[in-house]
Amino acid sequence: MNKTASESLWKRWLDRLLVLDVFVVLAGALWFAAAVVASSQGLEAPLRQFQRLWEPLFTPAIGLLIAAALVNGISSWWQRRALQAGRDSET
C-alpha cells in the first residue's frame, strides 16, 4: 500500500468520525431543547440526564467539532497561500 492510499484511508476515517461528531452535537442540541420544554412542563428527568452526559459526551464532541473547523480553516488558508506563492514565482 503506497503512502497516498494510506493517507486517503486515514482521511476517510477521520471524515466519518467528524460526520458522526456533527450528528452527536446536533442530537445533543435537540435533546437539550426538548429537555428544557419538558422541564417547563414539570418533567425534570430528561434535563437531569442531559446534565449527567454534558461533561463526558457533549463537551468533548463540541470541542472536537470546533478544533476540526479551525484545523480545516488553517489548512485551507495555508493551501491558498502556497498556491499564490507558486503563481507569483512562475511570473
> Residue 86: pLDDT band by 50, 70, 90 thresholds?
confident
Comparing CA positions, the residue from 12, 28, 13, 35 lying closest to residue 63 is 28
Comparing CA positions, the residue from 20, 22, 10 lying closest to residue 65 is 22
Percentage, residues of the chain above pLDDT 90: 64
The parent domain of residue 21 ranges over 3-90
The domain total for the chain is: 1
Cβ-in-10-Å burial (0-12, 13-18, 19+) of 8 comes to exposed
Q: Does pTM top 0.85 for this prediction?
A: no
pLDDT at 66: 95
Comparing CA positions, the residue from 32, 31, 16, 4 lying closest to residue 68 is 16
